[in-house]
Amino acid sequence: MTTAATNLRPPPFLRRYLTFTWLTLAVAAAIMVFEAFAHPSIVVNTLVTGGMWALMAAGLAMVFGVMNIPNFAHGELFLLGSFTAFTVFSPIQDALFDDPSLTWLKVVGPIPGMVVALAVGAVTGVLLEVALFRPLRRRSRDQWVMNTFLLTAGVSVVAINSYRLVVGNDFHGVPGYWIFPPINVAGVPISVDRLMVLLISVVTIGLFALFLRRTRLGRAIRAVSQDETGAQMAGIDLNGIFVLTMAISCALAALAGASLLFLFPAYPDVGLQPLYTAWFVVILAGLGNIPGAVVGAFLVALLQNLTIFYVGVGWVDVLPTLFIMLILLFKPSGLFGSAVKGVWEQ
Amino acid sequence: MNAKSTVSSTWAARLRANRRRIALVAVLVVALVLPFIPPFTGEDYRRWLVGAAFIAAQAVAFDFTAGYINIVNFGFAAFVGLGGYTSGLLAVELGIPPVIGMVVGGFASGLVGLLTGALTLRLRGIYAAVMAWFVGLALMGIVRNLPEITRGSLGLAVPSLLDSPENLPYYYVILAMLVVTFGVLAWVVRSRFGLAFRAIGQNLAAARASGINPTRYLVINFALSCAFAGWLGGFYAHYYGILTPDVMLTSHTVEVLAIAYIGGRGSLWGAAVVAFPLSIGVEYVKVQFSTLPGVHLVLYGLLLVVVMIYRPGGVAGLVGGLEDWLLRRRRQDPLETPNPA
């Protein structure tokens, strides 16, 4: 017999999986509120970089959830995006330099670069799936997760060094996208670039979530991530879904690279930090969990910005790692991980 | 023993039964005399040989984890670096001779590997791989950020292992270390432990069902591999005489990983044998195309991609296939069949 008091508490499985998670989120929220008064720049940086990590991590999580591929070449899509945006934006920047009175170009100028980066990323994703993952899938699905991990590691090395051979080791960056005076938000001056990047990430994540939840294709993607065989029996074209998933994931990474060009100039190794940050996020949130990855991205961004502000920029790899190991001690399947095992785990 | 079998066929049978061992001894002999065969008589080429043997030993230690328990230690280079720094700092700060320092470095790496493994190996394989990578990044960050101890990116000058400035004695030292690494790990693999490792690597659930405690074996394997990585790192430190945090870069892990997988996962010897031609070939390319930095890494990456897609068994798998094919042909040979129709 249980008493009325215990009946009011959430059932055991909820208690077990929610308490620690909510506690962590509450602490993060409290820090955000505190820092909003003490050091608003931390909050701004957290939101700006967090939005972009969310784009990276959501793509990574989706590819893992749907195709069971732990993509180690995700950072190179970031590089591809930033270099594409640089190539497209440079002439526009020059035109603006020659004639600063073109206000309309000042407003819309950065957009083409991002759109082209998005498209180039999507095409690369299609190529990756068709040229690499499909042949491997056709040959064997034994130890698929490890094999694709190594495969993408190879792709990453080839991509970084090919870029180095073709483009060189120089930094290709822009001083800023939208050259306007900073805007005051609640008394804190924030550069227009940062606000726009935040806007881009919020809009993209919103559209992405709508696509996944409200469209037939999105439902098909989610179906494949839950049960591949079942989805196939329901008439879903698996190959089509794989191509689409890879294209979206790569496009998101490229968009992140393009949007952050003013913070991360394009150079061969630029993808490394976004890559391992996205992996931090995905591990923290639980592999394959897309909404978790979005929340986790802001958590990791907060952690990184706190580390940079209070400890020093060099420790940005060390402290978040320790924190993640600590979390995994308590929650081995990630902060939002469920106890349900995915196909890849069995 | 078949009474009909002649002396020569017993010989052949014995040869066939010990073919692996014979091949390995042959390879070892080649490796021993290699520095006296031109062009390897030159110091530059002998330096390449040292590099090749070093990467071969690392690849063997790497394959012990990757090929048997199917966990990719993506922070491998950091464990190598940790051993190197431990040994180097002991020599610089306390004047401990490198030979002892290297062993201590091995223990240090093994200990950190033990802790990492104990924390991450209860998770699924990919978690462990990525967490090992994070630990590696964290170790590199720590080394970078404590310049008052490690001198950070400036580089830590470390006394050399031998008095000789020549490469030849170093080559024999690292060759001996390669043989020890291979010998110990091959011995472990053939023991009861090896059976458990293989069982876990192939099917975790089945291994658990047959009474193996997977985590324990996984941690032992991981820590042992890390310990050898640290020991080899000690050689690196006292051979090159300078340590920077770049030893721990992920790209070094990828290099070792590429060689281990091209050599053939789960074979140990494949990695050791392939490392020599591959690493020397790559050095050659690096020198030939010195105006194109990174071209050798493109080659490594492409090879890895091709092997992963088309020949997942690597060179060891190819050799195994060839061996099967030869033996099958022999069995069809009418002279060899015991009861010809």
Q: What angle do CA A304, A309, A313 make, to 5 degrees?
A: 65
Judge whether A7 lies within some domain.
Answer: no
The backbone torsions φ and ψ at residue B67, rounded to the nearest 5 degrees and listed phi first, read -85, -25
Average pLDDT, chain A: 82
Q: Which CATH number fits domain B20-331: 1.10.3470, 2.60.40, 3.30.1380, 3.30.70?
A: 1.10.3470
CB nearest to B301's CB, from A161, A280, A317: A161
Question: CA A260 → CA A54, A125, A195, A322, B101, distances in Å?
Answer: 13, 20, 12, 27, 45
The ipTM (two decimal places) reads 0.80
Contacts of A111 (CB under 8 A, 6+ apart): none
Task: Say yes or no to pLDDT of B337 above 70.
Answer: no
The residues in A 145-204 lying below 8 A from B, measured between CB atoms, are 145-147, 149-151, 153-158, 160-162, 164-165, 169
Task: Give the pLDDT confidence of A298-343 residue by residue, as tens digits.
Answer: 888 888 888 888 887 778 778 888 887 777 777 777 777 654 444 4
Rounded CA separation A154/B37 (Å): 34
Rounded CA separation B227/A108 (Å): 57
Contacts of A343 (CB under 8 A, 6+ apart): A68, A227, A228
How many structural domains are present in chain A? 1
Contacts of B303 (CB under 8 A, 6+ apart): A154, B258, B262, B278
B250-263 and A144-166 are packed helices; what angle lies between their axes, rounded to 10 degrees?
120
* A332 reaches B (C-beta below 8 A): yes
Rounded CA separation A225/A201 (Å): 24
**How many C-beta atoms surround the C-beta of residue B10 within 10 A?**
12
Task: Give the pLDDT confidence of A103-112 residue by residue, as tens digits.
Answer: 777 777 888 8
Q: For residue A181, what is the DSSP state?
A: P
Judge whether A3 lies within some domain.
Answer: no
- Cβ neighbours of A162 in B, within 8 Å: 298
Judge whether A53 lies within some domain.
Answer: yes
CA distance A315 to chain B (A): 6
- Cβ neighbours of A346 in B, within 8 Å: 205
Task: Say yes or no to pLDDT of B164 above 60.
Answer: yes
What is the arithmetic mean of pLDDT over A126-147? 86
Beta bridge partners of A184: A189
Rounded CA separation A201/A283 (Å): 21
* B126 reaches A (C-beta below 8 A): yes
Q: What CATH number should be reported for the domain holding residue A262?
A: 1.10.3470
Could you tell me how many CB contacts below 8 A there are between chain A and chain B?
136
**Inter-chain CB proximity B295 and A165 less than 8 Å:** yes
Task: Give the pLDDT confidence of B116-150 residue by residue, as tens digits.
Answer: 888 888 777 788 888 888 888 888 888 888 877 77
Q: Which domain holds residue A332?
A: 14-340
CB nearest to A328's CB, from B70, B123, B251: B123
Chain B residue with CA closest to A315: the answer is: B141
What is the arithmetic mean of pLDDT over B262-289? 84
**Inter-chain CB proximity B258 and A145 less than 8 Å:** no
* Identity of the residue numbered B305: V
Judge whether A174 lies within some domain.
Answer: yes
Predicted pLDDT of residue A246: 92
Judge whether A58 lies within some domain.
Answer: yes
The backbone torsions φ and ψ at residue B63, rounded to the nearest 5 degrees and listed phi first, read -65, -30
Which candidate in B62, B134, B153, B251 is best for mutational testing of the A interface (most A CBs within 10 A)? Answer: B134
What is the arithmetic mean of pLDDT over A116-141? 90
Query: Which pTM was predicted?
Result: 0.83
Task: Say yes or no to pLDDT of B319 above 70.
Answer: yes
Most confident of the ranges A248-257, A275-284, A327-336, B187-196: A248-257
Contacts of A333 (CB under 8 A, 6+ apart): A286, A339, B123
Judge whether A315 lies within some domain.
Answer: yes
The residues in B 247-286 lying below 8 A from A, measured between CB atoms, are 250-251, 254, 257-258, 261
- Cβ neighbours of B72 in A, within 8 Å: 146, 149-150
Task: Say yes or no to pLDDT of B154 above 90.
Answer: no
What is the arithmetic mean of pLDDT over A27-49? 78
With cut-offs at 50, 70 and 90, classify the pLDDT of residue A262. confident
Judge whether A346 lies within some domain.
Answer: no
User: Which of A90-94, A299-303, B325-329 is the least confident region?
Assistant: B325-329
What is the arithmetic mean of pLDDT over A146-170? 87
Which of the pair, B33 or A211, is modelled with greater confidence? A211
The residues in B 32-91 lying below 8 A from A, measured between CB atoms, are 70, 72
Judge whether A4 lies within some domain.
Answer: no
Predicted pLDDT of residue A14: 55
What is the arithmetic mean of pLDDT over A192-212? 88
What is the arithmetic mean of pLDDT over B40-52? 81
Which candidate in A71, A156, A157 is best for mutational testing of the B interface (most B CBs within 10 A)? Answer: A157
Which of the pair, B11 or A242, is modelled with greater confidence? A242
DSSP A211-280: HHHHSHHHHHHHHHHH-HHHHHHTT--HHHHHHHHHHHHHHHHHHHHHHGGGTS-B-TTTTHHHHHHHHH
* B189 reaches A (C-beta below 8 A): no
Rounded CA separation B165/B137 (Å): 33
- Cβ neighbours of B141 in A, within 8 Å: 314-318
Predicted pLDDT of residue A84: 93
